[in-house]
Amino acid sequence: MSPSNLNRRDALKLLGAGSLLALGGLPALAATRGPRGRVVVVGGGFGGATAAKYLRRFGPDLEVTLVEPSERFTTCPFTNLYLAGLRTFESLGHGYDELRDRYGVRVVHDTAEDVDADAKTLRLSGGETLEWDRLVLSPGIDIRWGALEGYDEAAAEKAPHAWKAGPQTHLLKRQLEAMEDGGTFILVAPDNPFRCPPGPYERVSMVAAYFKQHKPRSKVLILDAKDAFSKQGVFQEGWREHYGEMIEWVGRSADGRVVRVDADALEVETEFGTIHKADVLNVVPPQQAGLIAHRAGTANDSGWVPIHPRTFESKQVPGIFVVGDATEAAPMPKSGFVANNQAKVAARAIVADLAGEAASEPRWANTCYSLIAPGWGISVANVYEVHDGQLREVPGSGGVSPAGAGREFRRREAEFGQGWYAAIAQDTWGTRPGG
């Protein structure tokens, strides 16, 4: 299939799908169409799927290929609700039909094996080699096996991380269900940076919600490598309100930092030699950028990918754009929302780049909802900009849900959290609410 055939066919498809105004946004952009070129996107999560869709929205003449091994992607967000029995696992899965059928993205279910940045090719495990003019990597995180003593892949089969949605999530749920009432659940929380800063604290909230209903004599202990965490005040307020003394948090300076894991004994040892014994042990281990970011030469010694903040083009390999959890983009958190927003800015920058134009001044938003109990939600929201070549929060913007805001405020934020999930799943994969 020649590129021009593909473009003409897809252009007709796009016209059929709705007005160009609705799909392309700016009338001016739609009228002038846009540059031609081949863009390959690796990873079908929040960052990659959004990049593929918005590349076609901003650049209807681009040939876009998305490489993702799974035919259905399960989000990490809301897996904690699955653990509490508030969502089915299936409701967290999303396919690629809309990207393929409505946006004309070629979707290849294969694994990206290696990148040749000079030849501008991507080799897939199945043997195919894709040529690209610009490459987008959205590989998410990999676990740094062995970075925490005793925590390797075999250990994770006994003490799950459940920090990637899939078999690990099911394993943790089975262990929680098999635990006797009166048992102890221990969550080991890592130092920054890591995927989903409020995630460990929502996880213990949802485990406590399950215990409160089914195993009310059980305990929840968080051993933390940090002395502070995301939305800490409103998390702890909600824990007291809903779970009394059930949840105990031990920060780093109170000897909360775990230095060794014994997965067979379900024991962990802290910095100053305290041994804690769990009935269910959930270790959220140190992380790094996904493997393909390293293979492509975009990651540095920290294990993460430095990027040019205006465009999210790799600082180390020109022509490769990296978005999502794999990037070094502090103060932006490693969240699905941020990955979605970064992907849009990168998609627009790639279209501008291929057209020989300058990228526009970007702004990114983030809103992260966490559920503490059914009907009791909290949030953090921020807007980010580039200032003197660095990413920063827009001064005066952003913040966490207010302390002591009351039941009605928390109920509405729990509801908005549900709305957020439906919206970002629609925006990223085209999933229809309830469909």
- Which stretch in 154-162, 202-210, 310-318, 415-423 sits in contact with another protein by CB under 8 A? 415-423
Residues ≥6 apart with Cβ < 8 Å to 408: none
Q: For the window 35-64, what string marks contact with another protein as x by the rule CB under 8 A?
A: -------------------x----------
**By CB under 8 A, residue 420 contacts another protein:** yes
Closest CA to 226 of 278, 174, 191, 272: 191
The one among 151, 201, 312, 337 contacting another protein by CB under 8 A: 337
**By CB under 8 A, residue 126 contacts another protein:** no
Beta bridge partners of 67: 42, 108
| Window 11-40: residues binding another protein (CB under 8 A) | 13, 16-19, 21-22, 25-29
**By CB under 8 A, residue 413 contacts another protein:** yes
How many CB atoms are located within 10 Å of the residue 270 CB? 20
Distance of CA 333 to the CA centre of its chain: 9
Distance of CA 373 to the CA centre of its chain: 22
Pairing of β 363-373 and β 280-283: unpaired
**By CB under 8 A, residue 96 contacts another protein:** no
Distance of CA 381 to the CA centre of its chain: 16
Residue 34 beta carbon to another protein: minimum distance, rounded to whole angstroms: 13
The one among 86, 259, 265, 383 contacting another protein by CB under 8 A: 383
The residue among 18 and 182 lying less far from another protein, judged by its C-beta, is: 18
CA distance 207 to 210: 5
Residues in the chain: 435
The residue among 204 and 368 lying less far from another protein, judged by its C-beta, is: 368
The residue among 228 and 358 lying less far from another protein, judged by its C-beta, is: 358
**By CB under 8 A, residue 66 contacts another protein:** no
Closest CA to 322 of 284, 349, 301: 349
The residue among 65 and 428 lying less far from another protein, judged by its C-beta, is: 428
**By CB under 8 A, residue 244 contacts another protein:** no
The one among 61, 98, 224, 313 contacting another protein by CB under 8 A: 98
Q: What is the phi/psi pair of residue 260, to 5°?
A: -150, 140
DSSP letter (8 states) at residue 191? P
How many CB atoms are located within 10 Å of the residue 4 CB? 11
CA distance 5 to 405: 58
The one among 272, 361, 388, 389 contacting another protein by CB under 8 A: 361
**By CB under 8 A, residue 365 contacts another protein:** yes
Pairing of β 93-94 and β 73-74: antiparallel
Helix and strand numbers, DSSP H then E, in the chain = 13, 26
**By CB under 8 A, residue 389 contacts another protein:** no
- The site for another protein (CB under 8 A) is made up of 13, 16-19, 21-22, 25-29, 54, 98, 101-102, 337, 340-341, 344-345, 348, 360-365, 367, 379, 381-385, 394, 396-399, 401-409, 412-413, 415-416, 418-420, 422-424, 426-427, 430, 432-433
